[in-house]
Chains A and B, each alone.
Chain A
Amino acid sequence: AQSVTQPDIHITVSEGASLELRCNYSYGATPYLFWYVQSPGQGLQLLLKYFSGDTLVQGIKGFEAEFKRSQSSFNLRKPSVHWSDAAEYFCAVAPRYNNNDMRFGAGTRLTVKP
């Protein structure tokens, strides 16, 4: 069965430092891959998605993610974190034939220190 693992429940970084959030998936074939952000009191907002092609994907708010097929990973990165990036981040996967079967990771909560 497909699954998504976000190994880090909570990460704290200093403002201005770089960030990497990990995501690993288990799937029969390469799925569609997504990162969502949930700010406090808000719904989920799509940061970026990978369907095919270039394995380095650029998203909104300065985020990028790299798909590594050999490692079944889709890690999210940002070179310099801002205090407004404090939020919860969810990795999600969906099969190519049915976006309804989207699976979410448990989430990683990001705290940004001044």
Chain B
Amino acid sequence: DAKTTQPNSMESNEEEPVHLPCNHSTISGTDYIHWYRQLPSQGPEYVIHGLTSNVNNRMASLAIAEDRKSSTLILHRATLRDAAVYYCTVNSGGSNYKLTFGKGTLLTVNP
């Protein structure tokens, strides 16, 4: 699976947008990009995923660069409940679907 690089930490203010970057320069053409987040003392939870096109869901938006070597998770209006570690991971899916997590980005949201 392709390796991902994320900033160790980021800070935001409540109700402002947050852009969390991820580099995955060795991604292959069939790899999907997934984002999970982990709130304190909880297991990770799925946020969003995509292949080539930008994606939106109720939690966030995923912007994928045209060359697919980077992506950005966008939280449109950060809340205190969005404070968590955000993980970006890429993998090929299929029947042997598995996630390889890095250290992720610790997002702090200030009131």
> Are A and B part of the same complex?
no
